[in-house]
C-alpha cells in the first residue's frame, strides 16, 4: 500500500471544537516565530493546527476548546507518573511559599544532589536548567579535562541546540527537512555539516560524526583520530530519530573508546530515571565517565544536570578551571519537584515492570491493528518508550538513523491526524519516541488501540483512492 500524501481530514465534529486553538495559534504566530516556542509543536510535518493545552491531569490533556486527549507524550518524558502528580504539586507549593529564586545555595540542592549521586552511583553532580545546558557543560568539561578539542557524536542523536551539537542532530531537524521537502544530510562518516543555519562551519568541524549502532565505523574513527577526541557523546537509547535500541556489539565499541583516553558521555536527558531507576546506564550496564540528565529530575519543571566521577567533576569551577554558571541553577522550585518525583519512584519499586508490560501491550496492539488494515509498520519498544515507524522493515530491525529516515512520513501524518481526531495525543513527528506513564490505565490502552486500528483502516482507504 502506498499512502496518499494528503493528510486525513479531521471529522467536522472535532473540527468545530478547535476554534480556540486556531485563534491562539494565529495570535502566537504574530509574536513568536512559527507560533511555537519549540519547533516540533508546530505540526509542520503532520499538518493542521497544534492544540493549545489548558491543563493536564494523570494521562489526560485538555485543550483550550475543552477537548480531552489521552496523552502519549508526557511533556516529552518527565511525566513518568502522570501529569499534576499530587506529591510534586504539593512540594512545589511548599517551596513557592519560601520564594522563587535565591541566587544562593539552598538545602534542597544538597538533598537532590545526595539523591542523584546515591541512586546513580556518580561521585559529583552539578545542576543546570535544561538538557542543552547539561550536555554543553559536560562537553566543555571533557575538553578541559583531556586537553583535546574534538568531540564525536552519532547521526540522529540529539543533544540539545548548542552550536557544536547541531550536527546530524535528529528528530526536530529530521522533521523540518521532510516538511521543507529537503533531503536529509548524507555526509560521510567522520564528516560534519551544520544542521542549522547560524552554526559556523568552524564549530561543526570540531564535531565528528559516526553511525549509531555501527561498531566498525566507530572503531575505525577511533583508530584514525582517537588521540584528538575529548569525548564521545551518545544517547544510550535514541529517542530523537525515533526509538533506536543499541546492539551489544555497539555498546562494547562505545566502551572501547575509553582506552584511548576519550571520555564517554551518556546523554540520559530522556532515558534517565525512565528506563530504570538508574536509567539506561543501569539497564544496559553502561560505564560512562559523565552522564547528563534532565526531564524527570525536574518533575515537570525546567532542570538539567551532569555528573560523573570526582576526578573529572573536580575540574568544574570554582574547584577547577572549567567555567559553568547559572543564576537559576538549583532553583528551589525545580529542586523540590525533583525530590518529590525521585521519592515517589523509589517508593514504588514495581513501577518500571508495570510500565514495561503496559508499553509492550501497546506495541503488540499497534502491530495487530496495522496488520489487520494492511498498513506496514515497524515497532521499536524498550521500557516505556516506543516508536511505530511507518516502514515495511521487520519489527525491531530499524537500528540506525539511515533505517529510520526511510519511513513513510506521509503515511505517519495521515495516521497521526486520525489518532488526534479520535482523542489520542501522539508525538507529532515520525522521528520521536512516545512515553507511557504510570497514570495510563487499561481503559486508556483499549481506547488508544481502538483509535489506532480505526486510523490505520482509514489510512488504507485513503491510500486506495
Q: Which of 158, 306, 352, 401 is catalytic?
A: 158
158 among known catalytic residues: yes
295 among known catalytic residues: yes
How far is 195 from 168, CA to CA, in rounded Å?
A: 6
Q: Which of 63, 176, 212, 295 is catalytic?
A: 295
Nearest to residue 190, comparing CAs of 173, 211, 172, 165? 211
212 among known catalytic residues: no
Q: Which residues contact 56 (CB under 8 A, 6 or more apart)?
A: 62, 71, 79, 83, 84
Sign of CA dihedral 259, 146, 129, 122: positive
How far is 119 from 277, CA to CA, in rounded Å?
A: 7
- Alpha-carbon distances, residue 213 vs 26, 156, 220, 258, 397 (angstroms): 42, 11, 14, 17, 11
Q: Which of 267, 289, 403, 408 is catalytic?
A: 267
* Joined grid coordinates for residue 107: 538545602
Cell 545555595 maps to which residue?
Answer: 105
How far is 384 from 433, CA to CA, in rounded Å?
A: 9
* Joined grid coordinates for residue 283: 539497564
How far is 280 from 288, CA to CA, in rounded Å?
A: 11
Q: Which residues are catalytic?
A: 158, 267, 295
Amino acid at each position: 500500500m502506498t499512502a496518499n500524501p494528503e493528510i486525513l481530514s479531521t471529522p467536522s465534529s472535532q473540527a468545530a471544537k478547535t476554534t480556540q486553538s486556531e485563534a491562539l495559534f494565529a495570535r502566537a504566530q504574530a509574536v513568536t516565530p512559527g507560533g511555537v516556542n519549540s519547533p516540533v509543536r508546530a505540526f509542520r510535518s503532520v499538518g493542521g493546527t497544534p492544540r493549545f493545552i489548558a491543563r493536564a491531569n494523570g494521562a489526560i490533556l485538555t485543550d483550550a476548546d475543552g477537548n480531552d486527549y489521552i496523552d502519549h507524550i508526557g511533556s516529552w518524558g518527565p511525566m513518568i507518573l502522570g501529569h499534576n502528580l499530587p506529591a510534586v504539586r504539593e512540594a512545589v507549593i511548599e517551596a513557592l511559599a519560601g520564594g522563587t529564586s535565591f541566587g544562593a545555595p539552598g538545602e534542597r540542592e544538597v538533598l537532590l544532589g545526595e539523591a542523584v549521586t546515591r541512586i546513580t552511583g556518580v561521585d559529583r553532580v552539578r545542576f543546570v536548567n535544561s538538557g542543552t545546558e547539561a550536555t554543553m557543560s559536560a562537553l566543555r568539561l571533557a575538553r578541559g579535562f583531556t586537553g583535546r578539542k574534538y568531540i564525536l557524536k552519532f547521526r540522529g542523536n540529539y543533544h540539545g541546540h548548542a552550536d557544536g551539537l547541531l550536527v546530524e542532530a535528529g528528530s526536530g531537524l529530521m522533521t523540518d527537512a521532510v516538511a521543507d521537502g529537503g533531503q536529509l544530510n548524507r555526509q560521510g562518516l567522520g564528516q560534519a555539516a551544520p544542521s542549522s543555519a547560524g552554526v559556523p562551519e568552524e564549530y561543526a568541524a570540531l564535531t565528528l560524526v559516526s553511525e549509531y549502532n555501527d561498531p566498525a565505523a566507530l572503531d575505525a574513527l577511533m583508530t584514525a583520530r582517537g588521540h584528538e577526541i575529548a569525548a564521545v557523546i551518545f544517547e544510550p537509547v535514541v529517542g530523537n530519530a525515533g526509538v533506536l535500541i543499541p546492539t551489544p556489539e555497539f555498546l562494547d565499541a562505545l566502551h572501547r573508546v575509553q582506552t584511548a583516553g576519550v571520555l564517554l558521555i551518556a546523554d540520559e536527558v530522556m532515558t534517565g530515571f525512565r528506563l530504570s531507576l538508574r536509567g539506561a546506564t543501569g539497564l544496559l550496564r553502561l560505564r560512562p565517565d559523565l552522564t547528563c540528565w534532565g526531564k524527570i529530575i525536574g518533575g515537570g519543571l525546567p532542570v538539567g544536570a551532569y555528573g560523573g566521577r570526582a576526578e573529572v567533576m573536580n575540574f568544574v569551577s570554582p574547584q577547577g578551571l572549567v567555567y559553568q554558571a547559572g543564576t537559576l541553577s538549583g532553583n528551589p522550585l525545580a529542586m523540590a519537584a525533583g525530590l518529590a518525583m525521585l521519592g515517589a519512584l523509589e517508593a514504588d519499586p514495581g513501577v518500571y515492570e508495570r510500565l514495561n508490560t503496559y508499553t509492550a501491550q501497546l506495541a503488540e496492539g499497534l502491530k495487530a491493528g496495522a496488520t489487520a488494515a494492511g498498513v506496514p509498520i515497524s515497532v521499536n519498544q524498550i521500557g516505556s518508550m516506543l516508536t511505530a515507524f511507518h516502514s515495511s522493515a521487520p519489527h525491531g530491525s530499524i537500528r540506525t538513523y539511515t533505517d529510520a529516515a526511510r519511513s513513510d512520513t506521509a503515511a505517519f501524518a495521515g495516521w497521526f491526524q486520525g489518532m488526534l481526531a479520535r482523542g489520542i495525543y501522539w508525538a507529532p513527528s515520525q522521528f520521536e519516541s512516545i512515553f507511557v506513564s504510570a497514570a495510563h490505565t487499561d481503559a486508556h490502552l483499549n481506547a488508544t488501540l481502538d483509535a489506532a486500528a480505526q486510523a490505520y483502516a482509514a489510512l488504507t482507504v485513503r491510500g486506495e483512492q
